[in-house]
Amino acid sequence: MSNQSSWNDEYQKPQLITQSHKPQKDFLRFIKWIKKNKHLDLSAGLTALDLGCGVGRNSYYLADHYGIEVMGWDFSSDAIAKAIKFHRHENVTFQERNIAKPFPLEDDSVDLILDVTSSNALNEKERQVYLSECARVLKPDGYMYVRTLAKEGDKNAQNMVKEFPGGEYDTYHHPQLGVTERIFSGPDFKVLYEQYLEVVRMERKTGYQRWGSQSYKRNYWNAYLKSKK
């Protein structure tokens, strides 16, 4: 089964994804950091791109709190249907779109890009398209937030790489979700992302991944990046 149909199944019968309408907590810390350091003036007039937006909780937050124009993209039609149902907002456009395909956007047209635990499901080739497209559309003074799966200190992830190898380096085929995911060591993440963007800050945090009524400890990178232009 493809990653796309596995995600659609997940949205039809959610076992892993949050049912919460609240924005992701680590993403809120990034927003706080942007405000504190005055990196961007978060207000109407800015444009944001939420890659793998899911049910749109983070897109909605940016639009509702700051009046930002947001494009929320996800390749799951079920996710987009839920996003439109639960997080409709006049400043947000939700679209069914694959983030591993060229973005239909002008160069230097986006102020803020979010990738909240989405691109870890891309394969190597897809990740190159996604990264070069993010770098291309991000404005010279633009910022990007990436929350992704960490390798260090995550026994569950390391076991899955051994037991259910996904075919490429540091990947596993998630036994329940059915999605192939990449985990990143800090140095690997930096080397890869710095080909396209500047990594300004990176911190590892422990979180919990749910499966039905159980939850598993997982480690995540929170990376704050900016354009190199």
Interacting residues with ligand SAM (CB under 6 A): 3, 7, 17, 24, 52-54, 57-58, 73-76, 79, 98-100, 116-118, 121-122
Cα–Cα distance measured from residue 111 to residue 109, given in angstroms and rounded to the nearest whole number: 7
Q: Please work out, in degrees rounded to the nearest 5, the angle formed at the alpha carbon of residue 50 by the alpha carbons of 44 and 56.
A: 90
- Do residues 27 and 116 make contact, with C-beta atoms less than 8 angstroms apart? yes
Provide the minimum distance between the beta carbon of 130 and ligand SAM in the complex, in angstroms, as a whole number: 8
Shortest approach of ligand SAM to residue 218 CB, angstroms?
11
Rounded-to-integer distance, Cα 127 and Cα 205, Å: 23
Smallest gap from residue 190 Cβ to ligand SAM (A):
22
Q: Residue 81, SS3?
A: helix
CB of 58 or CB of 171, closer to ligand SAM:
58
Cα angle vertex 110, ends 104, 111, to 5°?
170
Exposed, middle or buried, 175 (CB in 10 Å: 0-12/13-18/19+)? exposed
Return the number of the residue (53 or 92) whose C-beta is nearest ligand SAM: 53
* Closer CB to ligand SAM, 151 or 174, in the complex: 174
Q: How far is the CB of 126 from ligand SAM (least distance, A)?
A: 6
* Tokens 């990449």 belong to residue: 182
Smallest gap from residue 101 Cβ to ligand SAM (A): 8
- Give the end-to-end CA distance of the chain in Å, rounded to a whole number: 39
Question: Whose Cβ is closer to ligand SAM: residue 113's or residue 121's?
Answer: 121
Residue whose pair of structure tokens reads 């991944």 in the numeric block: 209
Q: Which is nearer to ligand SAM, 98 or 128 (CB)?
A: 98
